[in-house]
Structure 1
Amino acid sequence: MIPDADEYGIDLAVDDDAVERLLAATPADVDPAPELSFARNVFLPLTTACRYTCTYCTYYDPPGRASLMRPEEVREVCRTGADAGCTEALFTFGDDPDDRYTEIHDQLAEWGHDSIHSYLREACEIALEEGLLPHSNPGDQTREQMGLVADVNASMGVMLETTAEVRAHAGPRGKSPGQRLDTIRTAGELGVPFTTGILVGIGETWRDRAESLLAIRAMHERYGHVQEVIVQPVVGNERWRGDTPALDALRRAVAMARVALPEEVGVQVPPNLAPVRDLLDCGIDDLGGVSPVTDDYINPEYAWPALRELESIADEAGVPLRERLPVYERFVPGWLSPRVRRAIEAEGAAGRRYRAVLSD
């Protein structure tokens, strides 16, 4: 039973036989992908405030130290990214700041916003003006919150992480698997192309991993909106004192994801957090968003690889490396809002850049 599923009306039933089949999956059961893809992005940490206090996360700052990017900073980073050939503005922030973050709420109010999602909409509009397609990862969202920003995003995402209750999420402000699945469902109901994933090594069991992947598959089968699933290992940092998954465990987890998911759903492993070269035969087909301009602010100790490193990885695999947009190509006709479609079809430099990526 998925914790808190009833509270959010999640009616997913994970079949025990399917779990057992997935637990038996190994890298020998999958084929290497015929190509690898990546997106060229800029990373914009809109705020470091977060109502959660996960023990593996260095992204959030406590009240009194959390910050907000100013609109002019957002514009400057987006403009720099567009000049560098990027197509994606990746907006991330901790889940809705709670009442402890008085200064964050006061700053939002001073800028004319009653919520972080209202400000996210302004930031996405800035990105579109500067020639980038927004992809937002704002954590758990209600239908109202996602509806406020869906039309100014090419795609959105949230990591499911796990359907299990784990100590790393414990405490009075712990994450709820039911709420995460509710966010993924909401994206499906609103027709938002969506990225999600599992976090490997935070205290979950192999059965938990299988059940998490099958829950994602069930959501995709219902709505058709999941574009990729990230298999991300937890990595050492100043807050995480646990182990990092061994290579054999990571290889098995990636292969399980490829076996569990439909062919059209991509399997991504972040190349700055995992030994991608040792996973090329396990079914990965995407290397995620990589920035020539900004850091990985969620994992600042782990630098993005340069494009030439991605090319080297693809060469080692003997497959082509293809740049993609933040929204997978199959979603471009029929799924995107008029606002985002106009951006892709525009005659200016940004539109030409988007279409060049699509036709690559």
Structure 2
Amino acid sequence: MIPGADEYDIDIAFDEREIDRLLTVTPEDAEPAESLTYAKNVFVPLTTACRYTCTYCTYFDPPGEASLLSPEEVREIVRMGVDAGCTEALFTFGDDPDDRYTRVNDQLAEWGHDSIHSYLREVCELALEEGLLPHSNPGDQTPEQMELVADVNASMGVMLETTADVAAHAGPRRKNPGQRLATIRTAGELEVPFTTGLLVGIGEDWRDRAESLLAIRELHERHGHVQEIIVQNVVPNERSRFEQPSVETMRRAVAMARVALPEEISVQVPPNLSPTRELLDCGVDDLGGVSPVTDDHINPEYAWPALRELEDIAAEAGVPLRERLPVYRQFLGDDGWISDQIQRIIEADGARFEVQT
């Protein structure tokens, strides 16, 4: 039973034959991709406040230390991204930070907002005005929260991480796999192109990884909304007690993801965190969002690779590298997956977005 499944009405049952099949997957069972993609983004860490205190995460700051980027600061970052040729504004913040941080609540109220999601909508609209497509990762969301911001995002995301109850999520404010799955389900119900993924090495076992992939596949089969899955290894940092998984573990995990998921879902590994070159033959077809101008604020000790390095990775694999948008091409068009506002921006600036359209 997935922890939190009853609380969030998650009705996913696992076929033991499917789990057994995935547990036998090896890298030889996955085919290398015929091309690699990446997105050029600017990273906008809206706030480092988070209601969770996960033991592997350096992103959150304690109450009293976290603050909010102002609209003026956001616009400056976004314009820097436009000047660098980016197409994506990646907005991140911890789960429901206004649940726990008085300073964040007070600042939101001063700016005329009653929630962090109301403010997220404002800065997404700001990014659209400047010509970038928002992709927001605001953690767990209720249907009301996601609906408030869905039409001003080209896509959204949240890492499932694992369906297991792991010590890494321990404490009075622990992550709930059922709640994470409910957020992924909500995205499908609202027709939001969505990114999710696994975090490998936080105490889960191979069965947990198989179940996590099958849960994602089940929700995608119901709604058709998952555009990519990230297979990310945990990395050592100043708060983490977890060792980085071995290359062999990551090769098997990536291959398991590729075999478990339908072809239309891309399999991504983050090139600043993963042994990317050694994973490409396991079914990787995407290298994620890479910023030419901002740090990876979630993993600040691990710098983004330069575009030249991505080109070298693709060349070594003998495949072409192409830029993509934060929303995958199968969701573009007039079928309701993206809002008219997002579609108009893409069509109005065809020269910048022609790589995908």
TM-score range, shorter chain: over 0.9
Displacement of 1:100 after TM fit? 3.4
CA–CA distance in structure 1, aligned partners of residues 91 and 51 of structure 2: 17
* Per-residue Cα deviation, 1:135-178 (whole angstroms, up to 9, x for no partner): 00000000000000000000000000000000000111000000
In the alignment, which residue of structure 1 is the partner of 2:217? Answer: 217
1:133 aligns with 2:133: yes
Displacement of 1:342 after TM fit? 1.1
* Per-residue Cα deviation, 1:316-356 (whole angstroms, up to 9, x for no partner): 0000001000000010122111111111111xxx44312x2
In the alignment, which residue of structure 1 is the partner of 2:34? Answer: 34
Equivalent pairs counted in the alignment come to: 355
CA–CA distance in structure 2, aligned partners of residues 351 and 171 of structure 1: 48
In the alignment, which residue of structure 2 is the partner of 1:268? Answer: 268
* Per-residue Cα deviation, 1:27-69 (whole angstroms, up to 9, x for no partner): 0001100000000000000010000000000000000000111
CA–CA distance in structure 2, aligned partners of residues 32 and 117 of structure 1: 39
Q: After the TM superposition, list the runs of 4 or more consecutive aligned residues in structure 1 that deviate by more than 3 angstroms.
A: none
Other structure's SS at 2:270 match: coil
Contact 2:52/2:173 (<8 A) preserved = yes
* Per-residue Cα deviation, 1:284-320 (whole angstroms, up to 9, x for no partner): 0000000001000000000000000000000000000
In the alignment, which residue of structure 1 is the partner of 2:317? Answer: 317
Other structure's SS at 2:355 match: helix
CA–CA distance in structure 2, aligned partners of residues 230 and 357 of structure 1: 22
The 5-angstrom pairing of residues 1-360 of structure 1 reads: 1-333=1-333, 334=335, 335-346=337-348, 350-354=349-353, 356-359=354-357
Q: CA RMSD in A?
A: 0.8
Other structure's SS at 1:82 match: helix
CA–CA distance in structure 1, aligned partners of residues 50 and 33 of structure 2: 37
Other structure's SS at 2:7 match: helix
* Per-residue Cα deviation, 1:182-208 (whole angstroms, up to 9, x for no partner): 000000000000000000000001000
CA–CA distance in structure 1, aligned partners of residues 78 and 283 of structure 2: 33
CA–CA distance in structure 2, aligned partners of residues 99 and 85 of structure 1: 36
Other structure's SS at 1:122 match: helix
Displacement of 1:358 after TM fit? 1.5
CA–CA distance in structure 1, aligned partners of residues 274 and 120 of structure 2: 30
TM-score by length of 1: 0.98
Other structure's SS at 1:358 match: coil
Structure 1: gaps spanning 5 or more residues:
none
